[in-house]
C-alpha cells in the first residue's frame, strides 16, 4: 500500500483513539488567521468575500502541496505527513465525544448541562430547547458532521491528495465562520457557503449510502433506510445535510427534523424526515455508533482509493519520461 493510503489510515486511527490535538490545533490556527485577514478584507460585497475565500483556500492547498513534495522521495516521511494532516483535518472523535456527553447529561436528568454542551455540536440557540429538541438537534448534528468532518475530507484526500484534504478543511472552516445568513455575512460569506455546498455534494451522498448499508449496526434495515433517504433527503433546505440526516433517520427508525430551528440572526423551518418516534438519549448513542461505523468504512475506502490512484499516476509519468 502506498504512503498516502497508509497515512490516511494512520491519521484516522489517531483521530479515533485520541481525537484532536488539545493545543496548537492547525485548524484553530487557520481560523485565527482567517479572522485576522477578514478584519482587513471585509466589505459588504460578494466579490470581496469571494477573493477572501479563494485566497485563503488556495494558500492552504499550496502549503499542503509543498509539504507533500518535500517528503516525496521518502515514503516514510510522506506517510507521516499524510497521517499528521489527516489527523488534524478529520474530526470524528470530537464529534462523537460531544454527542456522548449530551446523551450522558440527558440520562442523568441534567437538561441544563445538555443545553450547555449543545453549541459544541451545532449553532442552534439551546436556551429554550426541550429534552426532545436537544436530543433531536444532537442526532441531526452527528449525522451532518459525520459527513462534513469525516467522510468529506477523506473523499477529497483520496481524490486530490494533500491539497484536496487541506483545501476542503479550509472551505468547511470558512463556511462555519462566515457562511451565515446574518446581515454581516449574507453577501461577504456567500462564496464560502456556495463553495462548501459544492465541496460536500458528492461526499454527503457517499455518507448517506454508507449509513444505509451499515444500518444493521444499530438494529436498522438497509431497505427501510434507503427508502427514507430517497423519500426525504431532498426536502431539507440544505442540499447536503438532508441527505445524511434522512439516511440516519431511516437507519435509526426515528423521526428527525420538523418545526423551527432558531439560529443567531435567523430561523429555519425544517421538514420531518423518517417515520418513527422522536429520538431519545439511547437513540443518540445509537447515532454515535452509526457515525463511528460510517467513519471507519470511509477511512478504509479512502485509503484503498488513494492507494489505487497513486500507482497509476506513477506509471503514466514513467511512460511520458
pTM of the model: 0.90
Q: What is the mean pLDDT of the chain?
A: 90
Instruction: Between 268 and 182, name the one with better pLDDT.
Output: 182
Q: Is the pLDDT score of 261 beyond 80? A: no
Tell me, what's the pLDDT at 311? 46
Mean pLDDT lowest for which of 76-85, 192-201, 294-303?
A: 76-85
Sign of CA dihedral 119, 123, 128, 131: negative
Instruction: Between 97 and 262, name the one with better pLDDT.
Output: 97
Question: What's the pLDDT tens digit per position in 21-37?
Answer: 767 788 889 999 999 99
Percent of the chain beyond pLDDT 90?
74
For residues 295 and 150, the answer to whether their CB atoms sit within 8 Å is yes
Tell me, what's the pLDDT at 313? 45
List the one residue out of 22, 283, 308, 305 whose CA is nearest residue 131: 283
Q: What average pLDDT does this structure show over 260-283?
A: 81
Question: What's the pLDDT tens digit per position in 292-321?
Answer: 999 999 999 999 999 886 544 444 433 333
Amino acid at each position: 500500500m502506498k504512503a498516502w493510503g497508509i497515512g490516511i489510515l494512520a491519521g484516522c486511527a489517531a483521530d479515533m483513539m485520541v481525537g484532536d490535538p488539545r493545543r496548537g490545533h492547525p485548524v484553530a490556527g487557520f481560523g485565527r488567521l482567517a479572522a485576522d485577514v477578514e478584519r482587513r478584507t471585509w466589505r459588504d460585497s460578494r466579490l470581496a468575500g469571494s477573493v477572501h475565500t479563494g485566497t485563503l483556500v488556495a494558500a492552504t492547498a499550496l502549503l499542503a502541496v509543498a509539504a507533500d513534495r518535500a517528503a516525496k522521495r521518502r515514503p516514510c516521511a510522506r506517510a507521516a505527513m499524510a497521517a499528521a494532516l489527516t489527523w488534524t483535518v478529520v474530526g470524528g472523535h470530537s464529534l462523537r465525544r460531544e454527542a456522548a456527553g449530551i446523551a450522558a447529561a440527558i440520562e442523568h436528568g441534567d437538561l441544563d448541562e445538555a443545553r450547555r454542551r449543545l453549541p459544541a455540536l451545532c449553532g442552534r440557540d439551546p436556551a429554550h430547547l426541550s429534552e426532545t429538541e436537544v436530543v433531536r438537534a444532537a442526532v441531526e448534528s452527528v449525522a451532518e458532521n459525520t459527513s462534513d468532518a469525516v467522510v468529506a475530507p477523506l473523499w477529497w484526500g483520496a481524490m486530490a491528495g494533500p491539497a484536496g484534504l487541506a483545501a476542503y478543511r479550509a472551505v468547511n472552516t470558512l463556511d462555519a465562520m462566515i457562511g451565515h445568513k446574518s446581515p454581516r455575512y449574507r453577501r461577504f460569506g456567500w462564496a464560502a457557503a456556495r463553495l462548501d455546498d459544492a465541496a460536500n455534494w458528492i461526499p454527503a451522498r457517499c455518507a448517506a449510502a454508507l449509513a444505509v448499508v451499515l444500518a444493521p449496526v444499530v438494529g436498522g434495515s438497509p431497505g427501510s433506510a434507503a427508502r427514507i433517504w430517497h423519500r426525504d433527503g431532498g426536502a431539507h433546505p440544505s442540499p447536503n445535510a438532508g441527505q445524511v440526516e434522512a439516511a440516519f433517520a431511516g437507519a435509526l427508525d426515528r423521526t428527525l427534523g420538523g418545526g423551527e430551528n432558531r439560529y443567531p440572526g435567523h430561523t429555519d423551518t425544517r421538514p420531518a424526515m423518517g417515520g418513527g418516534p422522536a429520538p431519545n438519549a439511547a437513540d443518540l448513542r445509537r447515532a454515535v455508533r452509526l457515525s463511528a461505523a460510517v467513519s471507519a468504512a470511509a477511512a478504509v475506502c479512502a485509503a484503498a482509493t488513494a492507494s489505487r490512484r497513486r500507482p497509476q499516476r506513477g506509471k503514466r509519468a514513467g511512460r511520458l519520461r
